[in-house]
Amino acid sequence: MSEKDKRYSVVIAGGGSTYTPGFVLSLIANQDRFPLRKLKFYDNDAERQKKIGDACAIIMKERAPQIEFSYTTDPKEAFTDVDFVMGSIRVGKYHMRELDEKIPLRYGVNGQETTGPGGMAYGMRSIPAIIEIIDWMEKYSPNAWMINYTNTIAIVAEACRRLRPNAKVINICDMPVEIMTRMAKICGLNDYHDLDVNYYGLNHFGWWKEVRDKKTGKDLMPLLKKHISENGYWIGGEFDKETETSWAETFKKAKDCYALDPETLPNTYMQYYYFPQYEVKNADPNHTRTDEIREYRQKIVFGECARIVKAGTAKGNIWEANAEHSNYIVDICHAIAYNTHEKFFANIPNNGAIANIDSDSIVEVPCWFGADGVQPMATGMAGRFQKGLIEEQQACEKLVVDAYEQHSYTKMWQAFALNKTVPDASVAKKILDDMIPENKPYWPELN
Ligand code: NAD
Ligand code: G6P
Ligand code: MN
């Protein structure tokens, strides 16, 4: 068989993820450019995975019977004979995300999945689980690539840099492309593929300094600045008819973030660092994003899976129309499989990509994706404001990995105390002391 006719084998680690069915539909829709021979799910929660797996088995039988489909909790079975591993796990599941959000709020600190103390706690839980998966991949399928979007990505990527520096792992995030889809709409273009950009920062912590129409080279910054100074990234109307309220607020809040530096366009996540007091004031300590997901996305996904299994058919399922999150991941697999050197985003060791940031910092920048992995783009200098913010935040991320490696209570305390979302070291200590017993099954013992 020639390379041209090659068919790929993919395993989704975190088969029970709420994003899995959407990803499956996206893979099926892209069979002309990324053809599969095998699709497997792997999860360590058999019961949760079965609910998604049984529905996906019906989808696969109806839409892509040529692809061999299975799901398992056995690592050997999962990671043998695969070309791509998708990392989509949530260690401690939504129960732990809820605590990441609610414990900081007890002390007037923002409670968020991937930022502040909650994000650092989550990153610490993900490290050993991702390292374990990398090791299985390398043992059973040494030529495979792992495309990892398991959060907290900045911390996971720093752990990969230190603990598995040669592993074929690419740590990615969909937020820049999600925002760029909005930018494209604002400019009357179709989606992120139509834009050429210069972007730099850390994961969930970055800025665009250039946005152009890819085809014509036209500078789109003036148009975008005008829209964002009035509406943030909010578009409204048909485009936003299914956007949840908390996401709507996030896209609108980008207006206030933009005001802080009118030269660049901010990642939406900057809201948590620029306006932590506002975030706390607007939060309900008893009802956070996790509760919303349980009441909405999780309910819809598992409800739809149960409906499909009961009906014995996936006709008219809810994912068919909209799988944009997952299309981006297919784009990336395609670029690696066919060595296209298209530009997407990855979290990688800086090595000069941001000229005035340490070379061993993990940064999020545009990269060319190909058969040899990712090649970062040189993005130039970080502004003084951005440089200060980046250095503080990336020190927090490094301290979490120090704490993991050294089993150090002090390092984790320093990470919390240094963070921009935390007012002082005594508050940092209270949050950490509440988190330690809850994270006992997942964290190393901190001494
Ligand atoms: P989810 O809780 O619905 O699913 C995660 C699955 O992982 C669960 O079925 C769980 O049983 C499984 N799991 C947990 N620990 C495991 C382990 N050690 N080994 C194998 N499986 C394990 O989560 P979700 O909301 O669908 O999110 C999945 C992940 O994707 C999260 O890490 C989330 O933060 C991340 N995410 C990242 C991006 C990005 O831009 N990087 C975008 C969306 C989601
Ligand atoms: C974006 C981010 C992800 C994050 C997700 C949370 O997609 O890039 O890293 O996990 O938002 O969204 P949720 O709807 O789960 O709060
Ligand atoms: Mn992300």
Cα–Cα distance, 202 to 401 (Å, whole number): 16
Q: Which of 86, 89, 291, 326 to mutate to test the pocket of ligand 1 (most atoms within 8 A of CB)?
A: 89
Distances (CA, A) of 118 to 105, 281, 431: 10, 17, 9
Instruction: Establish whether 269 is a catalytic residue.
Output: yes
The dihedrals phi and psi of 119, each to the nearest 5 degrees, come to -65, -35
- Is there an atom of ligand 2 within 6 Å of 337 CB? no
Looking only at the bridges linking them, the beta strands covering 195-202 and 84-87 are unpaired
- Give me the pLDDT at residue 5, please: 82
- Ligand 1 pocket, Cβ-based, cut-off 6 angstroms: 13-14, 16-19, 43-45, 48-49, 88-91, 93-94, 129, 149-151, 153, 173-175
Over residues 331-337, the mean pLDDT reads 97
Instruction: Establish whether 258 is a catalytic residue.
Output: no
Catalytic residue among 269, 272, 273, 404: 269
- Give me the pLDDT at residue 326, please: 74
Closest residue by Cα to residue 234 from 258, 250, 246, 223: 250
Over residues 332-359, the mean pLDDT reads 98
* Token pair belonging to 318: 């809810």
Q: Is pLDDT of 3 > 70? A: no
pTM: 0.98
Over residues 219-247, the mean pLDDT reads 97
Q: Is pLDDT of 122 > 90? A: yes
Q: Is pLDDT of 1 > 60? A: no
pLDDT per position as a tens digit, 371-400: 999 999 999 999 999 999 999 999 999 999
* Contact of 358 with 82, CB cutoff 8 Å: no
pLDDT per position as a tens digit, 276-333: 999 999 999 999 999 999 999 999 999 999 999 999 999 999 988 765 557 899 999 9
Over residues 159-173, the mean pLDDT reads 98
* Contact of 304 with 296, CB cutoff 8 Å: no
* Contact of 212 with 218, CB cutoff 8 Å: yes
Q: Which of 19, 114, 172, 205 to mutate to test the pocket of ligand 2 (most atoms within 8 A of CB)?
A: 114
Confidence of residue 352 (pLDDT cuts 50, 70, 90): very high
Q: Which atom of ligand 1 is nearest to the CA of 133?
A: 19
- 151 assigned to a ligand binding site: yes
- Give me the pLDDT at residue 186, please: 98
Catalytic residue among 45, 54, 135, 174: 174
- 97 assigned to a ligand binding site: yes
Q: Which residues pair with 388 in a beta bridge?
A: none
Note whether ipTM > 0.85 here: yes
* Contact of 205 with 270, CB cutoff 8 Å: yes
- Give me the pLDDT at residue 215, please: 98
pLDDT per position as a tens digit, 52-111: 999 999 999 999 999 999 999 999 999 999 999 999 999 999 999 999 999 999 999 999
Q: Is pLDDT of 347 > 90? A: yes
- Give me the pLDDT at residue 189, please: 98
- Is there an atom of ligand 2 within 6 Å of 9 CB? no
Over residues 121-149, the mean pLDDT reads 98
- Give me the pLDDT at residue 6, please: 94
